[in-house]
Amino acid sequence: MEKLRWLIIGILLFLVVAIDFTGRMMSMLADGVLVAGVVAVALPMFKKS
C-alpha cells in the first residue's frame, strides 16, 4: 500500500509538470499563429508603398 501511494504521488507530480509544460507550449503556438496572421494581413499594405 505504501508503494502504491508513492507511485500515485509520483504520477500526480509528473502530470502537474506535464500539463504546465503542455499549456505553455500551446500558449506559445497560439501566439505564433496570431503573429503570423497579423503579418499575413499587414504585409500587402507594406508592399504597396
Cα–Cα distance for residue pair 17/48, rounded to 1 Å: 48
Residue count (the chain): 49
Q: Per the structure block, which three cell numbers stand in for 4?
A: 502504491
- DSSP one-letter code for 49: -
Q: For the whole model, what pTM was predicted?
A: 0.60
- Output the nine-digit C-alpha cell for 41: 494581413
Note every long-range contact of 37-44, with CB atoms under 8 Å and residues 24 or more positions apart, other chains counting. Answer: none
Evaluate if residue 31 carries a pLDDT over 90.
Answer: yes
Return the pLDDT at 45.
Answer: 87
Domain boundaries, the chain: 1-44
Of 27 and 44, the one with more pLDDT: 27
Residue 32 has pLDDT above 90, yes or no: yes
**How confident is the model over 21-42, as a mean pLDDT?**
93
Q: How far apart are the first and last CA of the chain?
A: 72
